[in-house]
Amino acid sequence: MKTTDPQAMYSEWMSQLINQTPWQEWMKPATSLSDIPLIDTLREAGATIDAVALARLQNEYTQEFAKLWQDFTMSKLPVLSDRRFSSEDWRNHAMHSYSAACYLLNARFLMAIAEAVEAPAKTKQKIGFAVQQMIDAMSPANFLVTNPEAQTRLIESKGESLAKGISQMLADMQKGRISQTDESAFEVGQNVATTSGTVIYENRLFQLIQYTPLTKTVHQRPLLMVPPCINKFYILDLQPENSVVRYAVEQGHTVFLVSWANPDEQLSEVTWDDYIEDGAIRAIEIVSQISKQSQFNIFGFCVGGTIISTALSVLADRGLFPAASLTLLTTLLDFSDTGVLDVFVDEMHVAMREQTIGRQGLLPGRDLASTFSSLRANDLVWNYVQSNYLKGEVPPPFDLLYWNADSTNLPGPMFCWYLRNTYLENKLKVPRALTVAGNPVDLGAIKAPTFIYGSREDHIVPWQAAFASTRLLNPKQVDQNIFVLGASGHIAGVVNPPTKKKRSYWVNAATARTADEWLANATEHPGSWWPVWAEFLAKHAGKMVKAPVKPGSAAYPAIEAAPGRYVKVRAG
């Protein structure tokens, strides 16, 4: 197996299936661990496996396999707790039930073997990730010949399900990605990204949207929102009932938002410095000019938080402090712990990117989308292979998955700088280790109370890494910083409106030096963390004044209605 890209892996597995090559060796029952090819593969690669651990695993495997075989000979069906095999079709057919049980047994011990490898932590992480990718790809649920649900559907539909599945697979091959939702059900500006507003500025990197007030009076100090540039901003404005943007407007804030351009070849030489100077800093200048406020609330989400924090540090070195407060949602500033994404970052990978697109070029949005999908391959890849292709089902409309498929390119020079200086070398947290837009970067020079949010099940920004920002920002008044921990993951934890009354969050008013210390004394509350954030914003937003009659100003007149043209550009 030469690739860990799930979509490429599926093509390879299907090719192997058609040609009857030894992919079955990974799935079939084995009387000994030594019969499983992974051990030979690891040894050929020079990996050392702890002999004591391997002997213990061999003994456990033999016992569990013997028990499974005994149950099979006695017509006792195995218990399949994995949701991939939860339908009655798997339990009603002994051979399929046994096939799934053998797969799960082998999968568990394959991962145990990977864990027994004696290697540095990062090497073990890479091995574990690659093995997990192969395990996910080898599930009998992924192939027509071993999926009883798909076979039942094939018979019941008299072949129509397979014909439709093949048609959908061919259509996806043309798109270059697996369809996760009915994309025809959505249109940006029509039923997603619908909060009323006006584009009042644009340059080659972004459009600036000013949203229409929903209250007669507003806070004197506006709110500037900087979303990530690696995907579209409307994750913060999907539907009126779960829109972070609309919620802030409803709380009486004049909201400005950066809508990043989707780069093409004309932006192939854009750098990180450009994103800071001509992007974030330019947006700060315009908001200040329109609102006539020297300070206002500033917000950054994910990479947008990294960008705006860098910009505020650059401005601090210039003697400017525009942030009355800073909000960072699932943002990395200290890249010591980058979670599962760490498997994609090493010197060889970064150097390869620098050689190919470091001076000029684009990182295609589909590459980023494929990477993020591989982090949850069963949910975001194989689940749709089974439903779309094997069963011929049409994926239902889902706004979040429509947004997920609306990928964004990145300029090569900008991406390579970001990859090396943050993920690989972790220099952003080191005072004055980096120079951006002509100024040394010192995050500790940002003098603003900070609201920091992390999601407990976030696999992209581990919540402990988000918490680390509390010690980097506003260090002389760290007691003014607030950390809130939400339930769920990177997106679902953020997009959790109070009206839904879902999930929960944790708060701890006392300062703590470590994430574990903070959590040990934190209190869990049901529902959304948004009201806690709203209270924080209001505290730093100034007095209430009459809402502006029209957007922009004489210097920054209306250009077009929100959400603007930039967000509608699809990645090539």
CA distance 332 to 306: 6
pLDDT > 70: percent of the chain: 92
Q: Which residues contact 430 (CB under 8 A, 6 or more apart)?
A: none
The pLDDT mean for the chain works out to 91
What mean pLDDT is predicted for residues 423-451? Answer: 97
Looking only at the bridges linking them, the beta strands covering 482-486 and 504-507 are antiparallel
Burial class (CB in 10 A: 0-12, 13-18, 19+), 238: buried
Q: At residue 212, what is the residue type?
A: T
CA distance 177 to 374: 12
What mean pLDDT is predicted for residues 455-459? Answer: 95
Distances in whole angstroms, Cα of residue 289 to Cα of each of 98, 285, 307, 556: 69, 6, 21, 9
pLDDT tens by residue, 57-103? 889 988 998 898 898 888 888 989 999 999 999 988 888 999 999 99
Q: How many CA atoms lie within 13 A of 301 on its CB side?
A: 25
Architecture, CATH, for domain 197-364+409-491+529-568: 3-Layer(aba) Sandwich (3.40)
- 539 confidence band (pLDDT: 50, 70, 90): very high
Q: Report the b/e string of 377-406 with b at 16+ CB within 10 A.
A: bbebbbbbbbbbbbbbbebeeebbbbbbbb
**Position 385 pLDDT exceeds 90:** yes
pLDDT tens by residue, 553-566? 999 999 999 999 99
The sign of the CA dihedral 64, 68, 73, 75 is: positive
pLDDT tens by residue, 515-538? 999 999 999 999 999 999 999 999
Name the residue ranges covered by the structural domains of the chain.
Answer: 6-156, 158-184+365-397, 197-364+409-491+529-568
What's the confidence (pLDDT) of residue 28? Answer: 52
> Can 229 be counted among the known catalytic residues?
no
What's the confidence (pLDDT) of residue 16? Answer: 41
Q: At residue 249, what is the residue type?
A: V
pLDDT tens by residue, 464-487? 999 999 999 988 887 889 999 999
What's the confidence (pLDDT) of residue 11? Answer: 46
> The pTM is what?
0.91
Phi, psi of 521 (to 5 degrees): -115, 15
Burial class (CB in 10 A: 0-12, 13-18, 19+), 81: exposed
Reference 461, options 340, 300, 298; nearest CA is 340
pLDDT tens by residue, 213-222? 999 999 999 9
Whether the Cβ atoms of residue 561 and residue 239 lie closer than 8 Å to each other:
no
CA distance 327 to 224: 10
Residue 457 burial (CB count, 10 A) = 13
Burial class (CB in 10 A: 0-12, 13-18, 19+), 78: buried
**Position 463 pLDDT exceeds 70:** yes
What's the confidence (pLDDT) of residue 46? Answer: 66
What mean pLDDT is predicted for residues 117-133? Answer: 86
CA distance 78 to 82: 12
Looking only at the bridges linking them, the beta strands covering 217-219 and 544-546 are antiparallel
The sign of the CA dihedral 480, 485, 491, 494 is: negative
pLDDT tens by residue, 302-319? 999 999 999 999 999 999
Among 102, 229, 302, 416, the one annotated catalytic? 302
Q: At residue 128, what is the residue type?
A: G
Q: Could you identify the residue written with the tokens 């760290």?
A: 478
Q: Output the six-digit token pair for 276.
A: 């800071």
Q: Comparing 40 with 364, which gets the higher pLDDT?
A: 364
What's the confidence (pLDDT) of residue 35? Answer: 60
DSSP-assigned letters across all residues of 282-350: HHHHHHHHHHT-S-EEEEEETHHHHHHHHHHHHHHHTT---EEEEEEES--SS-S--GGGGGG--HHHH
What's the confidence (pLDDT) of residue 23? Answer: 40
Q: How many CA atoms lie within 13 A of 507 on its CB side?
A: 14
